[in-house]
Structure 1
Amino acid sequence: MINFSTIRDVPLVELSNQAQSIGHTPLRPIRMLINEKVRTVYLKLECENPTGSIKDRTAYGLIQDLEDKHLLTASSKVIESTSGNLGVALALICKAKGYSFTAVIDPKNTRENIAKMEALDARIDLVQSPDKNGGYLLSRLARVQELLAQNQGYVWTNQYANAANPNVHYLSTGPEIYQQMNRKVDILFAPVSTGGTLAGISRYLREVNPSVTIVGVDAHGSVVFGTTPATRRLTGIGSSRRSDFITRDLYDYALHVKDEEAFAFCHALSMRTGLKLGGSSGCTLFACAQFLADHPEMNHIVCVCADGGENYKTTIFDQTWIQQLSVNYFEQQLQRALDIILE
């Protein structure tokens, strides 16, 4: 993973090498005690990508697609709406390839991710007004359209509708998981935002194993699966709009997780194993534990863990920030998670 404290001193050739090293992330088994039975769950650790998240794959696919279509020139200004991780990933790849990059972000972006984007010379454009669903995505997208209209040099990667998003996970993430699991995947849990990760992995796994169970994991208050919108603190998961990529044949179940439930599992995993992961991974682990409690027959279990915990030192892993939540419910869920996750 890149050392962002020294990134400004890294030669462009080294940045290019980092961009080429995306993927081939490890699987790590953990044990969960569910209904007095120990279950082994395999975590696909996307935090091992160069900038620390699964969005490295997405960013690489999006930029490669624009280049293949001859839509980028040396003077192009790449632009994207981002909740954080994709912005960092695009900033790396654009800097390595010589393109300028503008990240349209909102107040929920972590200070850590903003600092990383700025270290990679990204231009930050901050929107302040929430959208009609209580999030910021629609506001960010409106700002992207405004900037595109103002400057013909901007080129939008459009992670929300560009088929290159799910395709890169169909071509890389899905096959990696299948091979690492020795071609035995009974069930996979994947967080959703744009839906590209779930759509690409699911399409691949269903081709090689039509009986695989796919569970989409979403944040409570997100509308990806058509549920009622509500405010949420989780970032990197969920959306204020339906996914352009997820169709009903690509998943078997959709589970929704509350902020406190996700953050409790992040803390418990860190306390039990020393592994710090982000909020979407906490969501995925909570959903996995809930589902397995009702499905003891499931084996060969995989959870896609989109990023690590280092981007959340001032949020998820900050006790003062946690106090802004429903503390009693968080403490209740933390104890439950500690009872489930074993060393």
Structure 2
Amino acid sequence: MSVLPSVDSALGTIGNTPCVQLTCVVPPNSARVFLKLESLNPTGSYKDRMALSVIEEAEHRGDLRPGMTVLEATGGSTGSSLAFVCAVKGYNFRVVSSDAFAKEKLNTMTAFGAHLDIVPSENGKITPQLIPCMRERARQIATEDKDSSYYYADQFSNPDVFPGYETLGREILAQVGEPIDAFCGAVGGAGMVMGVGKTLKQSWPACHVAVLEPASAPALTKGHGGEHSVEGIGIGFPPPLLNKDWYDEARAIDEGEGRAMCRRLAREEGLLVGTSSGLNVVAAIQLAKQLGPGKTVVTGVGQALYKILDLDSKGNGRGAEEGGEKKVREADCVCIFGQVMDGGRGFSNAEE
């Protein structure tokens, strides 16, 4: 058994996550499906890679200097990752977020020392207007700063996210090997899918890259946004970093199918994941069935599940916001700080 060497700081634990082949949820006569366990990064998200890249690229250019405050608008995963990196490096961090996102995510940011500005949502829903409103508030804060004391990370438009995700692509190539016939991932800011997609296509040009969104918010597949409950993705507009040179198709996935896949992954594969990761696996299996035996599909777990799984009396999962039959708790998931999180929302990806 190989043992990882010691590292100088917690930042050295980012990356080098395992990649596992799914054996139970993939139907016969399908391609192999591999799942990159990005939930094993320090904050439980692949956004740790991006956060470190964004901060260090800004430091190298001199845009971010000691004493400055990092500023970002985020629904949670990016905020937790930036708060973590800023804590280790000694920067203050201010985040514009919303009450539409899981309080566990907001609590995680606060635990790392972040200052939160909360933008009210419409009945707790992620609407097409919410993310633009949060971004505008962050830009306003940066513009009104007369002392240039803020560095606005701006994950949705900042190409500094790519170096962090290109390392993820190289890890996939080293772990799975070539050829990788397809890769898919849910899109928020699109940095992860673009960074990984570019890296895979440079090594294997025939790799089919699919970007995913909730079917109820089809900005990429139908040209309009919509309300949904999958945090971190489906931002209501095509993200600026989305480059058609590095993906082949946009695919809409039903939220209900994603949640059902989360339950199957827990019960059949021993993997606790959030809803956006469930969407990833649903799409990966669709691609695996299309490609057939002898091919390889890769996707990832974007975020650890910091929640309790709410099940009704028949064992069917329901969101805590939904009505219905009496619920029982299937499993208690303990967060990285050792406290049991209450019911409500799972941690999903990032944004993407």
> Which TM-score bucket, shorter chain as reference?
0.7 to 0.9
Deviations, residues 40-70 of structure 1 (Å, cap 9, x unaligned): 3110010010110000001011101110110
Give the distance between the partners of 1:324 and 1:115, measured in 2 at CA: 19
What amino acid is aligned across from residue 181 of structure 2 in structure 1? D
Quickly say closer, same or farther: Cα 1:72–1:214, change in 2 above 3 A.
Answer: same
Out of 184, 190, 193, the position equivalent to 1:198 is: 193
Instruction: Tell me what 1:141 maps to.
Output: 135
Out of 168, 171, 174, the position equivalent to 1:179 is: 174
Give the distance between the partners of 1:39 and 1:204, measured in 2 at CA: 21
Correspondences of 1:153-192 after superposition (within 5 Å): 153-170=149-166, 172-192=167-187
Q: Shift in Å at residue 299 of structure 1?
A: 1.4
Secondary structure at the aligned position of 1:286 is classed as helix
Out of 100, 104, 108, the position equivalent to 2:96 is: 104
Q: Comparing 86-95 with 267-276, which one deviates more in the overlay?
A: 267-276
Q: Is the 8 A contact 1:224 1:243 kept in 2?
A: no
Instruction: Tell me what 2:344 maps to.
Output: none
Q: Shift in Å at residue 108 of structure 1?
A: 2.4
What amino acid is aligned across from residue 54 of structure 1 in structure 2? Y
Give the distance between the partners of 1:16 and 1:237, measured in 2 at CA: 33
Give the distance between the partners of 1:235 and 1:306, measured in 2 at CA: 11
- 1:46 to 2:43 alignment: no
Secondary structure at the aligned position of 1:322 is classed as coil
Deviations, residues 162-207 of structure 1 (Å, cap 9, x unaligned): 111123212x011000010123311111221111111111111111
Deviations, residues 295-328 of structure 1 (Å, cap 9, x unaligned): 3256122112211212x43xxx234762645979
Give the distance between the partners of 1:162 and 1:126, measured in 2 at CA: 23
Instruction: Tell me what 2:245 maps to.
Output: 249
Instruction: Tell me what 1:318 maps to.
Output: 310
TM-score by length of structure 1 reads: 0.83
Higher helix share: 1
Q: How many residues align?
A: 310
Correspondences of 1:9-24 after superposition (within 5 Å): 17-24=9-16
Q: Shift in Å at residue 150 of structure 1?
A: 2.5
Quickly say closer, same or farther: Cα 1:129–1:114, change in 2 above 3 A.
Answer: closer
Quickly say closer, same or farther: Cα 1:176–1:145, change in 2 above 3 A.
Answer: same
Q: Shift in Å at residue 276 of structure 1?
A: 0.4
Instruction: Tell me what 1:76 maps to.
Output: 68
Instruction: Tell me what 1:332 maps to.
Output: none
Give the distance between the partners of 2:126 and 2:46, measured in 1 at CA: 28
Secondary structure at the aligned position of 1:25 is classed as coil
Deviations, residues 247-302 of structure 1 (Å, cap 9, x unaligned): 22211221111221211111111111221011211111111222333332561221
Quickly say closer, same or farther: Cα 1:286–1:63, change in 2 above 3 A.
Answer: same
Out of 267, 288, 302, the position equivalent to 1:306 is: 302
Q: Shift in Å at residue 115 of structure 1?
A: 1.3
Quickly say closer, same or farther: Cα 1:16–1:122, change in 2 above 3 A.
Answer: farther
Instruction: Tell me what 1:207 maps to.
Output: 202
Q: Is the 8 A contact 1:32 1:40 kept in 2?
A: no
Q: Is the 8 A contact 2:219 2:236 kept in 1?
A: yes
User: Cα RMSD between the aligned structures?
Assistant: 2.5
Instruction: Tell me what 1:341 maps to.
Output: none
Q: Comparing 83-92 with 149-158, which one deviates more in the overlay?
A: 149-158
Correspondences of 1:210-221 after superposition (within 5 Å): 210-220=205-215, 221=217
* Runs (5+) with no aligned partner, structure 1: 1-13, 329-343
Secondary structure at the aligned position of 2:219 is classed as coil
Secondary structure at the aligned position of 2:156 is classed as coil
Instruction: Tell me what 2:118 maps to.
Output: 126
Secondary structure at the aligned position of 2:250 is classed as strand
Q: Shift in Å at residue 90 of structure 1?
A: 0.5
What amino acid is aligned across from residue 322 of structure 1 in structure 2? G
Give the distance between the partners of 1:75 and 1:323, measured in 2 at CA: 41
Q: Is the 8 A contact 1:226 1:242 kept in 2?
A: no
Deviations, residues 128-164 of structure 1 (Å, cap 9, x unaligned): 1459954520111011012112323221011111111
Give the distance between the partners of 1:183 and 1:326, measured in 2 at CA: 47
Instruction: Tell me what 1:333 maps to.
Output: none
Give the distance between the partners of 1:216 and 1:298, measured in 2 at CA: 23
Instruction: Tell me what 2:225 maps to.
Output: 229
Give the distance between the partners of 1:53 and 1:137, measured in 2 at CA: 20
Secondary structure at the aligned position of 2:299 is classed as strand
Give the distance between the partners of 2:294 and 2:141, measured in 1 at CA: 48
Instruction: Tell me what 1:274 maps to.
Output: 270
Q: Comparing 24-33 with 46-55, which one deviates more in the overlay?
A: 24-33
